[in-house]
Structure 1
Amino acid sequence: MNALSRRRFLRGSLIAVAGVLAASCQPKVVEKVVERTVEVEKVVEKVVEQTVEVEKIVTQEVIKAADPGPKMTVWAPKHFIQAQNDYFTDSVLLAAARNNFEAEVQLFPWGDYQQKQNAAIEAKTLPDIILGINVARYSAMDILEDVDDLFQEIGASGGGWFEANEANVKIDGKAVGIPFHNEPQVMYYRADIFAEAGYEAPPKDLDEFVEMTKAVTDPSSGIYGFGNTFSDVPDGNNIFWGFLWAFGGKVQDENGEIAFNSQESIDALTWYTDLYLTHKVMPEAVTGWDDTGNNKAWLAGQCACIYNSGSILNSMRTDDPGFAEHVVVGPTPAGPAGPKTYQGGSTAGIMKGTKSFEQAAAIIREILSPERYPNNLRSAGGMFYPVLKNYESDPFFQDDPWNKATAAMVQYAQFAHQPGPITAWIDEIGGKWTFSRMAAKVALSGVSPAQAVEEAAAEMAEMKAKYENI
């Protein structure tokens, strides 16, 4: 019994203890639950606080997005055709309006444009976008943003880039510029004036060019066979490329070695400067012409032939349609290496240090969009030709006889670096007016063609060495 009583006692004790424990623990459990409830409430308070903070952040971001921020600056050349200047500017401003930022366009005459860029590079005050960059040179200077993704995107929307344009903006397989337009340089001939002298077609070669321009030159009547400036402007510099190539000359060979100091270069320079010095088929005033000098002389009926882009076509159509009926175009007359012409045009670059790459990309995307690009070309009135394949068949280029004839000159066109690789130093030939200064030395200062070519080749060697040491 005692054992049983003990077991019962123990059981009773356990029950009692359990009861005591239950009684003693119950409030503590409740307290813990209450404490946990308080903790949960604190967590809820934190969530509420975080929610308020998130709302504040979102509000701040919306306000910030509405702020256009710093104004984007675009530099571009001021062309002879105001309609193109206006349409290009409107394209930039439209991109800004559609993407909620501000932009300004600053236009500069071609004759001053390269110096403006050089000064900005030196002072580190570049704009966000430059239309008219020196691709290889600026890439070597490391002042261009990588735009390969943008290049691919725009190319896809426009049916692909023409091969030459694509090759002209790629460094090590990546695009560092966006082509904007092609501008084949051509010879314009007054068919009516040459017909009066007994010539029914443009000259077939350089010798016949001299013969024909001499035949129509009549200083007493203010008529000259040909006109082009020797000044440091694009027309003064670029014209020599076609003559150089026609004689078989080049600035570099296939391996990128300088090859300018050659008999072909001397022959080309002699032939060109003799038009002024010996044959006297150019007016004396060419020594003071700027880049619009030949345009003005042509439209005034003072020259029977000039070298230019399509800007002249637009002026003739607008100001004197009857004048245009007597005009034909062609490449630089054939020399020993055949007919050649210089492939002009422009390329846009986004400069390192831009205030906003995305906004700069939006501007270029708008300019070359299917909505805007066709009229960016058409507004130039025959001066601009497409870099994207979708626009080659545009009726503007196929139905107009002058535009179609100019477009056909592309088959004779070359870029400055050919036959060698694209390289930075060659861009400086244009930037430093190497050819126009070379020709002026001969035509105006009595330097021999051989010496002028030798000095130009020495300048090229310095240009090349500078970039090799960067």
Structure 2
Amino acid sequence: MKKTKKIALASVMTMSMFLGACGGSDDASGDDDKTISVWAMGEEGKQLKELAEKFEEENEDDIKVEVQAIPWESAHDKLLTAVASQDGPDVFQLGTTWVPEFAEAGAMLDLSEHTDDYPEFEPDNYFEGARETMQYDGQQIGIPWYVESRVLYYREDLLEEVGYDEAPATWDELKDASSQLADRSEDDYGLDIDQNDQITPFIFAWQNGYEVSEEEAENGDFNFDGEEFVGAIEYYHSFFDEGISQTSEGEDITKAFEKGTKPMFFSGPWMISVLNDQAPDIEGQWGTAVMPEQEKGTSSIGGANFSIFHNTEKVDESLEFLSYINETETQLEWLEMSNTLPSRTEAWEDPLLQDDPMYATFGRQLEDAQPGPQIEEWDQLTQELLDSIERINVGGADVEEEMANFNEKAEGLLAE
């Protein structure tokens, strides 16, 4: 366990010592009934109300659910306040990158002792990458609600024109195909890389053999100046340096993909419905593929987890709700409602996913996907990396020197 915490989290823990006597959970659920309060984020929170109503109809214990939809932009501060006051909801949603911070604060109930009664909670039910976000310091502190990963979206028709009947399968093929596509005209590019996406540099690094253990991450031993990470950033940068990828933001990727000026890009499952809805004229001309390999074809895994607030007085009711939400049938219903992917591997055996080539790609990719380092400082760390990459791509900074500086800053963040 690290000896230091972020300032905000340290303040939360200090406040908790004084406010811990408050106890209980959010006042949406009283002590005299079986009503639980659930905090969920953004549009998902609004849609979750429909599932909650079905749970109320089907459960035999007359458990009621009050869902509060919280905008993502205010969710983090609201959760910090709940931890500080010890007056949170019974059940709450967390983005996977927030898990370490709130786990360190002791905000989540340990579910380990409940897996015998609720086999849905067993880690083996979930993709390997998702398991890492369920566990912290020997405790099981959440259940993956849904998952996402990044795959390659590509224009089949345009790749065929440059000699590729299938999507590029290796780094060399990706570079070759995208170079040819970019050479079509001054207005064309080969591969769109979102420079604001914090996970893409790590995806390239994992593919290039970069690894960091949980213990190394906690100690700040990231080795960002090592051969594997530096080599990945050099490959990443080469697309911008050679004019294959656009350095400026440029045209919206959906429109550019439809026009063919940006015929390949990396993205998550949400883009399937976006393209179907907003680019119907290219139906049947595009596809999805797992990530091109270097040493590996690893991609990221993200999504959201559900946890139970550590001092809820409605443990049994909260467990029942979590169990329902993570049943395979419920996850498949949620897929149809929200276009988010099931976290349970069993759900991927259903024809709804197996017979859809776009979704099936994500199922294959999730077998080789991992989360970012499970540390509290993740957001700060990745922002520093994006700043370094901008200095490389736009400012012409040397990759090795910039990564050495970044590695030093990363070590400093963990030492604060």
The interval holding the TM-score normalised by the smaller chain is 0.7 to 0.9
Alignment TM-score, normalising by the size of structure 2: 0.76
SS in 2 for 1:392: helix
Contact preservation (8 Å) 1:92, 1:366? no
1:260-271 equivalences under 5 Å are 260-271=224-235
- Pair 1:395 & 2:351 matched: yes
Shift of 1:163: 5.8
Q: Quick one: which of 167, 174, 186 aligns to 1:202?
A: 167
Question: 1:334 maps to which residue?
Answer: 293
CA spacing shift, 1:370–1:403, aligned 2, 3 Å: closer
Tell me how far apart the structure 2 counterparts of residues 280 and 431 of structure 1 sit (CA, whole Å). Answer: 28
SS in 2 for 1:379: helix
1:105-124 equivalences under 5 Å are 105-108=69-72, 112=73, 116-117=75-76, 120-121=79-80, 124=84
Shift of 1:137: 3.2
Tell me how far apart the structure 2 counterparts of residues 330 and 311 of structure 1 sit (CA, whole Å). Answer: 15
- Pair 1:214 & 2:179 matched: yes
Tell me how far apart the structure 2 counterparts of residues 279 and 65 of structure 1 sit (CA, whole Å). Answer: 66
Alignment TM-score, normalising by the size of structure 1: 0.68
Tell me how far apart the structure 1 counterparts of residues 214 and 122 of structure 2 sit (CA, whole Å). Answer: 34
Give me the CA root mean square deviation. 3.6
Which of structures 1 and 2 has the bigger CA Rg? 1
Q: Quick one: which of 130, 154, 157 aligns to 2:93?
A: 130
Q: Aligned letter for 1:246?
A: Q
Q: Quick one: which of 272, 279, 300 aligns to 1:313?
A: 272
1:16-415 equivalences under 5 Å are 65=32, 72-76=37-41, 78=43, 87-92=47-52, 94-95=54-55, 99-108=63-72, 112=73, 116-117=75-76, 120-121=79-80, 124=84, 128=89, 129-133=92-96, 134-149=98-113, 153-156=117-120, 161-162=125-126, 164=128, 165-217=130-182, 222-231=187-196, 236-252=197-213, 257-276=221-240, 278-286=241-249, 294-295=253-254, 297-299=256-258, 301-320=260-279, 323-335=282-294, 337-352=295-310, 357=315, 360-381=318-339, 383-384=340-341, 386-415=342-371
Shift of 1:85: 6.6
Tell me how far apart the structure 2 counterparts of residues 354 and 67 of structure 1 sit (CA, whole Å). Answer: 12
SS in 2 for 1:407: helix
SS in 1 for 2:199: helix
Structure 2 portions without partners, runs of 5+: 1-29
Between the two proteins, the alignment pairs up a number of residues equal to: 374
Contact preservation (8 Å) 1:72, 1:104? yes
Tell me how far apart the structure 1 counterparts of residues 230 and 31 of structure 2 sit (CA, whole Å). Answer: 62
Between the aligned residues of both structures, percent identity stands at: 16
SS in 2 for 1:338: coil
CA spacing shift, 1:364–1:199, aligned 2, 3 Å: same
Contact preservation (8 Å) 2:45, 2:67? no
Question: 1:437 maps to which residue?
Answer: 387
Q: Aligned letter for 2:48?
A: F
Q: Aligned letter for 1:202?
A: A
1:438-453 equivalences under 5 Å are 438-453=388-403
Shift of 1:448: 2.2
Tell me how far apart the structure 1 counterparts of residues 388 and 77 of structure 2 sit (CA, whole Å). Answer: 21
Tell me how far apart the structure 1 counterparts of residues 214 and 403 of structure 2 sit (CA, whole Å). Answer: 16
Structure 1 portions without partners, runs of 5+: 1-62, 79-83, 418-422
Deviations 1:242-270 (CA, angstroms, capped at 9, x unpaired): 21122222344886543222122122112
SS in 2 for 1:424: coil
SS in 1 for 2:249: helix
Shift of 1:371: 4.9
Deviations 1:3-54 (CA, angstroms, capped at 9, x unpaired): xxxxxxxxxxxxxxxxxxxxxxxxxxxxxxxxxxxxxxxxxxxxxxxxxxxx
Tell me how far apart the structure 1 counterparts of residues 307 and 408 of structure 2 sit (CA, whole Å). Answer: 30
SS in 2 for 1:180: strand
